[in-house]
Chain A
């Protein structure tokens, strides 16, 4: 079904077609055959006694019921205007050159560019070919994947979702700084990749003695450090001191102070988190980001209503599929100008799904690189009109059949 892909003209055309179709159905509706008789005395006596309507009773005529259901199903399916998509795009080119977010990530220890590709908002000249982009501020339901007007917005989504399902580690996302790209407004944001998986052991958040510090044991390697650049509170405490081997998960970018960190002890791994990051309401997007990071580890939502001093466990499900950040979180995270960038590993993915078998190449190129020739995508087949025509034909056949007195 493709309700959103209709242009206004197509919608108007469809509406007009529906009106015409309904008119035809009205003309072709089953009407009783009028017969003049000498008297109604005997017909009145012979007419079957009307049976009480039983809502969940067995249909009196199965064929008539099935035929009616078929007509209804055809109309509904036709109104949905299903698409049969031919060969989709075979490549995703990610902009590796609009570097603010990527630089930040590199500085945060993600690794060299291209290892995990950031897709910030500055699409630049690459925007025409990019199908994977970031959300923008003001997009409350901002999906993560994007495309420009030259490509159907629905086309690349299945591939990225399939990649996320098949190779969960390939697609993750993180909040980045606001884009300064000039073409950002042209990007149409569509649905986000829903799944990312990080397997890890159970994580116990220990409220500890200091209410400003919560500890989690055991821990796993931090897969995704977070950089908070626009922390609202300037006088908030940070974790200090930390062991030398501590790995900072969340860093206050303005001061460089770690806010969430993990380290190993003889008793096991520990995660420390400043209490204010866990406050549910005081810092709006910050807890959401922390929760997202912890969910990557623990596989569950952090109970933001937890009472200080009461430990709570976050069961980690090895191999579980976790939502990074839900659509609601996007709204909060992007309200202050942040973006949630998608990271995707470059490589060649062979995907199988309802769309068939596709080989998708994900690569990165700087904005200054010349654009490759655009891919020529075949036009999808829309089946709505054909289904409606079939529905009208079946209804007409049924009406004709009925007029011949051979009601099924």
Chain B
């Protein structure tokens, strides 16, 4: 079992702050899941003025308006709330099967993605809830708030149980059943659900949150080295498939792989979700930078 030091090496942790800076550089208004309360009250950002009524905070009186108009006005500010961030991390068996050349597995990359996004959210004082999911949906980790909870979160991430089949719909249904405020849901997975794209679509349909799909892909995954008579075994379900991998097999496999990615993008667009691909050939912080470049994530 990987340790925290193995999963989150110092170089990765050092890159998180730089990643957060890149996330904060996104211009206002272009963010995907900015969270503001509808009510106006105590805050920093000015929102509006209204006529003074007895009982208003005297500190909020607008002196300039009183001098100019000889009437009392009360300044109103935007009341900001924390953003519930739900990070669903795929823990199925397929994520640990094959490692990239540098030893990075999808499983480790998924945890790094979850940690990076959680760190950014915690720095924004958002409430972060992480839960692993596979065939049997794991219970969520305790919600954490504030940067000081980050080390504890890393320990909990590493300790998440793994194994089983990818079950996107089950994970979404479990999250939807728990209710709570509307927030941001981040699905970190390879999305190789045995039930196909329809399972992903069904899951997204259940969510009321803004959703981001982080798809993990491995270099060369689209064109595996499969030749000859093969007995393929699904590492998750144990299902078998006899295949005669002729010379055209690799081309057809790649075409199917790309079609699956296109289908995933279509489903994400249909439900207003953001799909971002993290390639294991690139360090996770660097790969996640693209997520913020287009304002897909609140920095």
Contacts and interface: CB of A to CB of B under 8 A. Distances in A.
B231 A32 contact: yes
21 contacts: A31-B229, A32-B228, A33-B229, A33-B230, A34-B230, A35-B232, A37-B97, A38-B94, A38-B97, A39-B194, A40-B194, A40-B241, A41-B256, A47-B243, A47-B249, A48-B248, A402-B228, A403-B228, A405-B245, A406-B227, A407-B228
Interface residues of B, number: 36
Given A41-B194, A44-B241, A35 B256 contact: no
Given A30-B229, A47-B241, A48-B248, 13 more contacts: A33-B229, A33-B230, A34-B230, A36-B233, A37-B97, A37-B233, A37-B234, A38-B97, A39-B234, A40-B241, A42-B260, A43-B253, A407-B228
Nearest to B242: A32
Nearest to A42: B256
B243 A39 contact: no
Interface in A35-83: 35-48
Interface string B257-288: 10110000000000000000000000000000
A11 to B, nearest CB: 37
Interface string B77-89: 0000000000000
A45 B252 contact: yes
B189 to A, nearest CB: 12
Contacts of B242: 32
Interface size, A (range): 20 to 34
A402 B233 contact: no
Interface string B113-143: 0000000000000000000000000000000
Contact of B243 (A30, A38, A43, A403): A43
Contacts of A42: 253, 256-257, 260
Contacts of A40: 194, 232, 234, 239, 241
In terms of DSSP, what is the predominant structure of the interface of chain B? mixed
Given A46-B252, A46-B256, A405 B244 contact: no
A193 B256 CA distance: 73
Nearest to A404: B228
Contacts of B249: 46-48
A242 to B, nearest CB: 85
Contacts of B236: 38-39
Looking at B230, B233, B241, B260, the one whose CB has the most chain A CB atoms below 10 A away is B230
B260 A38 contact: no
